[in-house]
Amino acid sequence: MIVAGCDVGSLTAEAVVMDNGNILGSEIIRVRPKPEQSARDVMEKLLEKLDLVYDDINYCVSTGYGRETISFADSNLSEISCHGRGAHWLDPSVRTVIDVGGQDCKAIKVDGDGLLEDFVMNDKCAAGTGRSLELMSEALGVDVSQLGPLSLDSSEVITITNQCSIFAEMEIMHYLCEDRNIADIAAGINDAMARRVKLLVGKVGIKDRIGITGGVSKNIGVVKNLEQMLGKEFVEFQEDPQIIGALGAAVFAAERVKDLPQRQASR
């Protein structure tokens, strides 16, 4: 049975296609103005790459902020459940998942089956999110993908004191005017992000082992700082951690298609 998961977030959209428990492929794009268009663009790009069409998909689960607007999905689930399930599917030892997305940050606890036990979420402002990192990297004059590698060259971490992303940008501009080392500023940005995530994780509690998902998981500076602060080494996933929400949706789709009447499941 071929199933799919589609995750439309605030900054990126991801799609995963699976066949009998194996990942056939995945795709990531920047979001479009409307969630439905984001979903169609990322799914069609993936289907074209796999030489498939919509009718080949037996069941699709959508997730993320735009999940309820995706017309080709058979059902939808919260991104919290999908990130937890996707991370656990990749590594069954995972019990805590940290998902740092574009618009919010979540700390998720799952049980031995990868199902949601508890979570906390910070979505009151951009601080501690992927969008916050984008804004601060723009102020620093580098691409957000450079923040992690750049921070590894730091000799002195510059403390970013402001929690508000707007005031943090002004603080960065001030350091640049003082001609401070940009690697040290980048290290400060990543350190500030890690400190905010640590506070959130503390609210839900840590349950070994820990996996980190979402786009920020690709920032080696944030990840290393967070590992040191929590005193834990994170699970290293064998798939791109940014697709884990879509992967979890596909895993749920594979379970749901089994419960359908045979004629409908084989459409």
* pLDDT 10s digits, 8-19: 988 899 999 999
**Number of domains forming the structure of the chain:** 2
115 and 86 part of one domain: no
28 and 113 part of one domain: no
The candidate with the shortest Cα–Cα distance to 147, out of 220, 201, 90, is: 220
User: Which residue type does 87 have?
Assistant: A
32 and 159 part of one domain: no
232 and 242 part of one domain: no
As a whole number, mean pLDDT of residues 141-145 equals 92
Give Cα separations from 39 to 8, 12, 15, 26, 262 (angstroms): 6, 10, 8, 13, 27
As a whole number of angstroms, the distance between CA 256 and CA 249 comes to: 10
Give Cα separations from 9 to 99, 106, 139 (angstroms): 12, 13, 24
The candidate with the shortest Cα–Cα distance to 162, out of 132, 192, 130, is: 192
As a whole number of angstroms, the distance between CA 30 and CA 189 comes to: 23
Q: pTM to 2 decimals? A: 0.90
106 and 26 part of one domain: no
Strand 96-100's sheet: what is its strand order?
Answer: 116-122, 105-110, 96-100, 210-213
26 and 108 part of one domain: no
Residues in the chain: 267
As a whole number of angstroms, the distance between CA 59 and CA 257 comes to: 6
72 and 175 part of one domain: no
Residue 90 has pLDDT above 50, yes or no: yes
User: pLDDT-based confidence at 263, cuts 50/70/90?
Assistant: very low
Residue 26's domain spans which residues?
1-91+238-267
CATH of residue 250's domain is 3.30.420.40
User: pLDDT-based confidence at 3, cuts 50/70/90?
Assistant: very high
As a whole number, mean pLDDT of residues 96-111 equals 91
What HEC string does 40-96 produce? HHHHHHHHHHHCCCHHHCCEEEEEECCHHHCCCCCEECCHHHHHHHHHHHHCCCCCE
115 and 84 part of one domain: no
143 and 65 part of one domain: no
pLDDT for the residue 113 = 95
164 and 259 part of one domain: no
Burial (Cβ within 10 Å: 0-12, 13-18, ≥19) of residue 179: exposed
Task: Using alpha carbons only, give the angle 97, 68, 58 rounded to the nearest 5 degrees.
Answer: 85
Q: In this prediction, what percent of the chain has a pLDDT beyond 90? A: 74
118 and 207 part of one domain: yes
198 and 170 part of one domain: yes
User: pLDDT-based confidence at 66, cuts 50/70/90?
Assistant: confident
User: pLDDT-based confidence at 123, cuts 50/70/90?
Assistant: low
